Amino acid sequence: MQFEFTDLIAGYVSNFNESEKTFTLTTSDKREFTVVLGDTTFARLLRNLDEPYQDATGNMYSLLKQDGRMAFVFGIFYPQVDGEYSFEAKQIDFPERELGKFRFEESNWWANQAKSICDFFIRAQFPDGDINYEKYRTAVSLGGKAEKNSFRQETDTISRMIYGMASAFMLTGEDRFLEVAEKGVEYLKKHMRFYDIDENVVYWYHGIDVDENGMEKKIFTSEFGDDYDAIPMYEQIYALAGPMQTYRVNGDPGILRDAELTIDLFDRFFKDTKGEGYYSHIDPVLLSPASDSLGANKLKKNWNSVGDHAPAYLINLYLATEDEKYKKFLEYTFDTITSHFPDYEHSPFVNERFFDDWSHDLTWGWQQDRAVVGHNLKIAWNLMRFHSICPKESYEAFAKHIAEVMPQVGMDVQRFGWYDVMERKLRGNEEYYHFAWHDRKAWWQQEQGILAYEILYGIFKNEEYLKYARESAAFYNTYFLDYEDGDVYFNVLANGLPYLLGTERKKGSHSKSAYHSVELAYLAATYTNLLNTRKPLTLWFKPQVNGFKDNILRVQPDILPQGSVKIDKVWIGDKEWTKFDADKMTVELPAVEYRPKIKVVVVPKN
């Protein structure tokens, strides 16, 4: 190496020598670097959104004396005359306030983060405080302004924002979030939903364009490049994400009915009734997956068409109803994934795209023979959710294999965090799996890594899983939070600096809304509190009158290991309520003619 360059090293501190101003930093994969402190080196403690700057320069030496403390060291590599190099620290970030006490494991960390993110989107979309979805725009700038010269309202991005708002209400009980969620659901119903009387199914428009006079133009088929002029399964799936999380809160029967009719659409027109799984696209005229007009998407199956049901809406639909048919639907999707996605004879990554007969499609579009790291992690995460109510050795073995191999091929062991799209196979004399385009890290893929290892640790108590969960959460919370404008960045460079070019500069786009970031907050709060640190979790609900079937509210925050949690206390308004089944996680609703606001405290058992 004959040049200097700036980079990040993440790891664990040891061997601090105050007189020489050096310490050792050991990476996740146990490589050691000597770090030199300079006269201008400064340090910070991790802070959440809406928290003030947390300087740690004054006590930096005392922190470095604590062997095993996690640190992110941003510095400069300098070549030396002996052919070696030195690494001089310029900035050090400490995720722990005390040794072993990570800030993101504080009981309210994730709830506060969800609150801040959702407030950002409320300010961006409804700056005058009037929750009017006619003003909603898909595109939101870095600074938090809806781009009014862009008239597009995409169904999925509205639904994703609704999900975030409903989740923020569940974590905080603050009514403005539920108002935004419920008004969003009604807007989707009125403007984006199409009920086909002849077929008795519901499907959802790609979006609408609203001009300066308030006139709207329906956009039926997708206008996203990969799916142009077709009805892609994933858009129909994510149209249900926000409404279904809202249904968990309010029990609106109309939401349940729309979900049932959309699932009918899936089963009648997307499902491979002669084989297995679901097709990725159907044409808009015949509602057929076999139409020649679909081009490269004709009779194809992929991760989204099979795997996205569970996290987007189906697990929440089951949690809200405990209807056996939704459990069977979940089992069908997970059995399909477990049967067809592993390809470990050829690659450490799953295969994600398939022909009609489940043979591998390695020539499709941008994906070719490439892997999305986050999809591998997402499989492990969701398998372990469902495994708690439908245990199978195949699910456990598949998830554990992913958990073992992904840090070796998809994780940045030098800096922490998870990469994006990678080549699935080595070529020639390659030793490392190559990046498809870049070594950037997307916010949503960090979510998959955090949640996968959080739930794996919660179930199996393997310390290695906790290590990866903490490393993933530490990188995300150190580098993705935008303290200046709010929300989180779309992408950061491998070294943690935000990448602010093109659509990845934006906070709202076809790909980004208040979904993955708040889904992470909601479920990280659940897994951290109930399975890891064993602290209470407070949830809020506001049922409609005669909304939930049999007047029973189901409050399980996620599918968790059976017998691991229970209800501790319930309040309706400011009065304690005792009509609940602690172990079944159900609350008998009062027979009142108004919407009660219900606070439920869930605790780990034993």
Distance from C-alpha of 33 to C-alpha of 345, rounded to nearest angstrom? 35
5-99 and 105-532 agree in CATH topology: no
Three-class DSSP labels, 492-547: ECCCCCECCCHHHHCCECCCCCCCHHHHHHHHHHHHHHHHHCCCCEEEEECCCCCC
Distance from C-alpha of 425 to C-alpha of 173, rounded to nearest angstrom? 48
Q: Distance between alpha carbon 323 and the CA centroid of its chain, in Å? A: 25
Distance from C-alpha of 387 to C-alpha of 367, rounded to nearest angstrom? 29
Mean pLDDT of 142-170: 93
Q: How confident is residue 606, by pLDDT bands cut at 50, 70 and 90?
A: confident
Q: What is the residue-wise DSSP string for 247-302?
A: HHHH--HHHHHHHHHHHHHIIIIIB-SSSSSB-SEE-TTT--TT-GGGGGGTT-EE
Long-range contacts of 227-232 (CB under 8 A, 24+ apart): 227/281, 227/297, 229/284, 229/293, 230/281, 230/282, 230/283, 230/284, 230/293, 230/294, 230/297, 231/203, 231/281, 231/282, 231/283, 231/284, 231/287, 232/280, 232/281, 232/297, 232/304
Task: Return the sign of the alpha-carbon dihedral for residues 575, 580, 586, 589.
Answer: negative
Distance from C-alpha of 265 to C-alpha of 196, rounded to nearest angstrom? 10
Q: How confident is residue 23, by pLDDT bands cut at 50, 70 and 90?
A: very high
Q: Which helix (H) or strand (E) holds 42?
A: strand 32-45
Dump pLDDT digits (tens) for 418-475.
999 999 999 999 999 999 999 999 999 999 999 999 999 999 999 999 999 999 999 9
Q: Distance between alpha carbon 587 and the CA centroid of its chain, in Å? A: 28
Q: How confident is residue 72, by pLDDT bands cut at 50, 70 and 90?
A: very high
Q: Which residues pair with 571 in a beta bridge?
A: 576, 599
CA angle 391, 394, 400 (to 5 degrees): 95
DSSP 8-state code for residue 310: I
**Phi, psi of 558, deg, nearest 5:** -160, 175
Distance from C-alpha of 486 to C-alpha of 542, rounded to nearest angstrom? 28
pLDDT at 24 over 90: yes
Dump pLDDT digits (tens) for 556-569.
999 999 999 999 99
Q: How confident is residue 549, by pLDDT bands cut at 50, 70 and 90?
A: very high
Q: How confident is residue 484, by pLDDT bands cut at 50, 70 and 90?
A: very high
Q: What is the residue-wise DSSP string for 412-454?
A: -TTT-SB--EEESS--TT--SPPBSS---EEHHHHHHHHHHHH
Mean pLDDT of 376-393: 98
β-strand pairing of 85-94 with 70-79: antiparallel
**Pair of tokens at residue 454:** 């959080």
CATH number, domain 105-532: 1.50.10.10
CA angle 270, 272, 278 (to 5 degrees): 50
Distance from C-alpha of 167 to C-alpha of 145, rounded to nearest angstrom? 22
For the chain, the structural domain boundaries read: 5-99, 105-532, 537-604
Mean pLDDT of 17-41: 98
Question: What pLDDT shows up at residue 151?
Answer: 82
Quickly tell me which residue has 């010269």 as its tokens: 149
pLDDT at 21 over 80: yes
Q: Is 158 left (phi over 0), alpha (psi -120 to 50) or beta?
A: alpha
Question: What pLDDT shows up at residue 214?
Answer: 74
Distance from C-alpha of 25 to C-alpha of 579, rounded to nearest angstrom? 54
Q: What is the residue-wise DSSP string for 208-242?
A: EEE-TTS-EEEE-S--SGGGTTSEEHHHHHHTTHH
Which residue, among 545, 593, 597, has the nearest Cα to 571 in the 3D structure? 597
Mean pLDDT of 290-315: 97
pLDDT at 203 over 80: yes
**Pair of tokens at residue 420:** 């994006």
Which residue, among 195, 213, 332, has the nearest Cα to 265 in the 3D structure? 195
Mean pLDDT of 483-503: 97
Superfamily classification of domain 5-99? Nucleic acid-binding proteins (2.40.50.140)
Report the chain's mean pLDDT, rounded to a whole number: 96
Distance from C-alpha of 343 to C-alpha of 349, rounded to nearest angstrom? 7
Task: Return the sign of the alpha-carbon dihedral for residues 300, 440, 158, 210.
Answer: negative
Lowest mean pLDDT among 37-51, 220-234, 538-552, 580-594: 220-234
Question: What pLDDT shows up at residue 483?
Answer: 98
pLDDT at 148 over 80: no
CB 167 within 8 A of CB 540: no
Q: Which residues pair with 194 in a beta bridge?
A: 203
DSSP 8-state code for residue 341: S
Question: What pLDDT shows up at residue 523?
Answer: 98
CB 25 within 8 A of CB 11: yes
Distance from C-alpha of 17 to C-alpha of 325, rounded to nearest angstrom? 63
Dump pLDDT digits (tens) for 159-192.
999 999 999 999 999 999 999 999 999 999 999 9
Q: Distance between alpha carbon 65 and the CA centroid of its chain, in Å? A: 36
Tell me the percentage of the chain whose pLDDT exceeds 90: 95
pLDDT at 399 over 80: yes
CB 251 within 8 A of CB 544: yes
Tell me the percentage of the chain whose pLDDT exceeds 70: 100
Question: What pLDDT shows up at residue 215?
Answer: 81
Question: What pLDDT shows up at residue 378?
Answer: 98
CB 331 within 8 A of CB 386: yes
Q: Which helix (H) or strand (E) holds 79?
A: strand 70-79
**Amino acid making up residue 563:** G
